[in-house]
Chains A and B, each alone.
Chain A
Amino acid sequence: MSTSALVGETYRRRLIVFYIPLFLFVFAMLFPFFWMLITSIKTDAELYNRRISPFLVRDPTLEHWRMLFQDTLFLQWTWNTLWVATVSTGISLFAGVLGGYALARLTFRGSTVFSVWIFITYLVPPALLFIPLTGVMSFFGLVDSRVSLMFAYPTFLVPFCIWLLIGYFQTIPKELEECARIDGATRVQAMVKIVLPLAVPGILSAGIFAFTLSWNEFLYALVFLSSPENKTVPVGVTGELILGDVFFWGPLMAGALFGSVPVAIVYSFFVEHYVSGMTGAVKG
């Protein structure tokens, strides 16, 4: 709000309309993470005793963490997820940068139609495609294979990247490219040497966002993968740490915590890029 609105605002009023609501929002947003953490370091005896306060940790233990890393394939799942997320982000950026450039900069027959189709595919949810895609993957011999995800994730990442990058390429002045072409550069050279370096912030935003989307994906990974050693973190933690009706809450919460840490780290380094990717994704 403008500064003049704050002039004369009493501290008491500011407390009621601003600090208290903001505190409650932040508290509500962060409380589940706090809960993850303290659940993962309590002993089973404390976890399953309803008479004592669940907010205190009387006897902190790293037993659940040890169990997560030693008795489950958690590290393997992390590796799988990292690998799948990196490759699918790479594929998507490659197809997205080229496609985004073509649709933003070149005029050719069918470009408008293609933009509309990109937009439509952008809105197609995985829930609509997972059943037939299972058939397509087995046709390619990719049953229970991490490679299947590397091709499945670009289905929602490529439209996203193209959409985001069209917007970004349009902010780069066309004159720069024209100058390069006057100096004798070919179209491809102008694109690779002039436009792409300028588009790095946009490409980075698309990449960060695509990476976190792939890290978090669940449905395709759940349907396509069956052996424990091929699973990604979200599927491994929910699938292998819940046996029938038995929930191992300590290791489960440790898994939730450590499955969130890598994306949280990537995010903390690139908050600004992540935010511009997110807001750019809806602005188009």
Chain B
Amino acid sequence: MAETTAKTAATTRESASRTAEKSRTSWITTQLENERVLGYVLLTPAFLLIIVFIAYPFALGTWMALTDKVVGQPGNFIGLANFAKLLDSDIFRTAAWNTVFFTVVATAIKAALGMWLAVLLNRKFSLSRVTRAAVLLPFIVPTVLSTLVWLWMLDGTFSVFNWILRWLWDMEISVFGLVIKEDFGYIRGPNWLGEPSWAMGSIIMANVWRGLPFFAISFLAALQTVPSELYDAADIDGASGWRKFWHVTLPMIKPVAIVVVVFSFVVTFADFQLVYVLTRGGPHNSTHLLATLAYQLSMHAGNLGEGAAAALFMVPLLFVVIVLQLTYLRRIGVD
């Protein structure tokens, strides 16, 4: 190690002496030998981008939220009036509640089903590679485009699900020779997107479909790091499959699982595309999320100030998640 330092010092001295007699390019080379200088230089592109396109817009958005700015006109400072107005409106309160409900329910379903799928995929079977690749498809294609298929499959008139329901209904299923169907006339099936609670359910279903592969594949990667000796030991102790999952698998993949869940939570929380395509916040503004409400207020109604305020309501929850993540990451860093 001492030798290394000596030699490094020698190299530096050598290049330093070269600097004296050579041009400006070698002056730059010497400067870049300095860890601090090089660090700052390498970070400059990322730093500029973040300042101009994230930090400044964030500050600008916060300022806009405090003004009555509308499209095409400079706004006047109005303090917290936008926030007060939003908190007072039913549409906003519904959107805030929807955001929390949608995020919690969708993330929970994705985590549970994702874990199940990961355990299935972790077995050895023929075509396992192809199956894994196929299962990831919903996650890689553009969300709006796949959501368009859901819009079509959930169509009020031509829904394929309702077609299947009608078909099953028409089959006249009989039990012990008794036909259990009575003629209730023409069965319509649920109005998937036209009725508030069905619409929220449909949005959650589409989100689960799209996000499930991310959970499954991330969990699968974690499962593959669990040493098989642990299962052998559990087998010797006579543990059942379920107990092995609960007492061996789950504790082992907990660190990754937590990070995956939190990450997905943030993405689901700020979702825009699903609601935009499936319901546009309808029927009667019952399925808005904070993101779509901010879009409607700013881009449709033109109230940039109010829209910016609605978007800023995402910050408190994001903040909590970021703090949790950072403390958690730091903890695994220390271990």
Q: Is B101 close to A, CB under 8 A?
A: no
Q: Are B49 and A29 in contact (CB under 8 A)?
A: no
Chain A, Cβ-Cβ closest to B206: A32
Q: Report if A282 contacts B (CB, 8 A).
A: yes
| Bound Cα distance A50, B218 (Å) | 41
Q: Which residues 1-57 of A have a CB within 8 angstroms of B?
A: 1-6, 18, 21-22, 25-26, 28-30, 32-33, 35-36, 39, 47-48, 50, 53-54
| A112-143 residues at the B interface, CB under 8 angstroms | 114, 116-121, 123-133, 135-136
Question: In the bound complex, how far is the Cα of B244 from the Cα of A5, in angstroms?
Answer: 10
Q: Are A186 and B314 in contact (CB under 8 A)?
A: no
Which residues on the B side are within 8 Å of A267 (C-beta)?
Answer: 136, 140
- Would you call A151 and B143 a contact (CB within 8 A)? no
In the complex, whether B35 has a CB less than 8 A from a CB of chain A is: yes
- In the complex, the answer to whether B152 meets A128 with C-beta atoms within 8 Å is no
* Residue A82 interfacial (CB < 8 Å): no
Q: What mask results when residues 102 to 119 of chain A are scored 1 for a CB within 8 Å of chain B, else 0?
A: 110011110100101111
**A158 and B50 in contact, given A29-B134, A127-B314, A133-B57 (Cβ under 8 angstroms):** yes
| CA–CA, A103 and B53, complex, Å | 21
Closest to B221 in A: A279
Return A37 CB to nearest CB of chain B, in Å.
Answer: 10
CB of B145 within 8 A of CB of A234, answer yes
Q: Is the CB of A26 within 8 A of B290?
A: no
Convert B307-335 into 0s and 1s, putting 1 for each residue whose CB lies closer than 8 angstroms to a CB of A.
11001101100100110011001000000
Q: Please measure, in the bound complex, the distance between the C-alpha atom of A2 and the C-alpha atom of B122, giving whole angstroms.
A: 10
Among candidates A121, A135, A223, A282, residue contacting B60 with C-beta atoms closer than 8 Å: A135
Whether B218 contacts A121 by the Cβ 8 Å rule is no
User: Chain A residues near B232 (CB, 8 Å)?
Assistant: 2, 4
- Supposing A249-B152, A253-B149 touch, asked if A47 and B158 sit within 8 A by C-beta, the answer is yes
Instruction: State whether the Cβ of A255 lies closer than 8 Å to any Cβ in chain B.
Output: yes
Residue A212 lies at the interface, judged by CB distance under 8 Å to chain B = yes
Report whether B46 and A96 are in contact in the complex, using a CB–CB cutoff of 8 Å: yes
Given A1-B122, A278-B218: A237 touches B144 (CB 8 Å cut-off): yes
Residue A187, interface by CB 8 Å: yes
B93 to chain A: closest CB distance in Å? 18
Q: Is the CB of A98 within 8 A of B43?
A: yes
Contact B38 A102 (CB under 8 A): yes
Are A188 and B32 neighbours in the complex by a CB distance under 8 Å? yes
Cβ-neighbour of A98 out of B14, B45, B117 (below 8 A)? B45
Given A260-B145, A278-B217: A125 and B269 within 8 A (CB)?
A: yes
Contact B290 A32 (CB under 8 A): no
- Contact between chains at B218 and A282 (CB < 8 Å): yes
- Interface membership of A263, Cβ < 8 A: yes
| Chain A contact patch, size range | 35 or more
For the complex, give the distance between the alpha carbons of A186 and B14 in Å: 11
Interface size on B, as a range, is: 35 or more
Task: Report chain A residues within 8 Å CB of B256.
Answer: 282-283
What's the minimum C-beta distance from A202 to chain B, rounded to whole angstroms?
Answer: 15
State which of A6, A118, A131 has its C-beta within 8 Å of the C-beta of B311.
Answer: A131
Q: Are B231 and A218 in contact (CB under 8 A)?
A: no
Is there an interface contact between A129 and B57, defined as CB atoms closer than 8 Å?
yes
Q: Is the CB of A54 within 8 A of B160?
A: yes
* Contact surface of B with A, Cβ cutoff 8 Å: 4, 7-8, 11, 14-15, 29, 32-33, 35-36, 38-40, 42-43, 45-47, 49-50, 52-54, 56-58, 60-61, 64, 113, 116-117, 119-125, 131-138, 140-146, 148-153, 157-158, 160, 163, 167, 209, 212-214, 217-218, 221, 228, 231-232, 235, 241, 244, 256, 259-260, 263, 266-267, 269-270, 272-273, 276-277, 290-291, 294-295, 298-299, 304, 307-308, 311-312, 314-315, 318, 321-322, 325-326, 329
Chain A residues within 8 Å of B, Cβ to Cβ: 1-6, 18, 21-22, 25-26, 28-30, 32-33, 35-36, 39, 47-48, 50, 53-54, 91, 94-96, 98-99, 101-103, 106-109, 111, 114, 116-121, 123-133, 135-136, 151-152, 154-155, 158-159, 162, 178, 181-182, 184, 186-188, 212, 215-216, 218-219, 222-223, 233-235, 237-238, 247, 249, 252-253, 255-256, 259-260, 263-264, 267-268, 271, 274-275, 278-279, 281-284
Given A118-B46, A155-B50, A252-B148, list of 8 further CB < 8 A pairs? A50-B163, A53-B167, A96-B46, A102-B38, A123-B322, A181-B11, A187-B33, A282-B259
A-B residue pairs in contact (CB < 8 Å), sample of 13: A22-B121, A95-B49, A102-B43, A126-B272, A128-B318, A132-B308, A154-B53, A155-B50, A181-B11, A219-B272, A222-B276, A247-B152, A282-B218
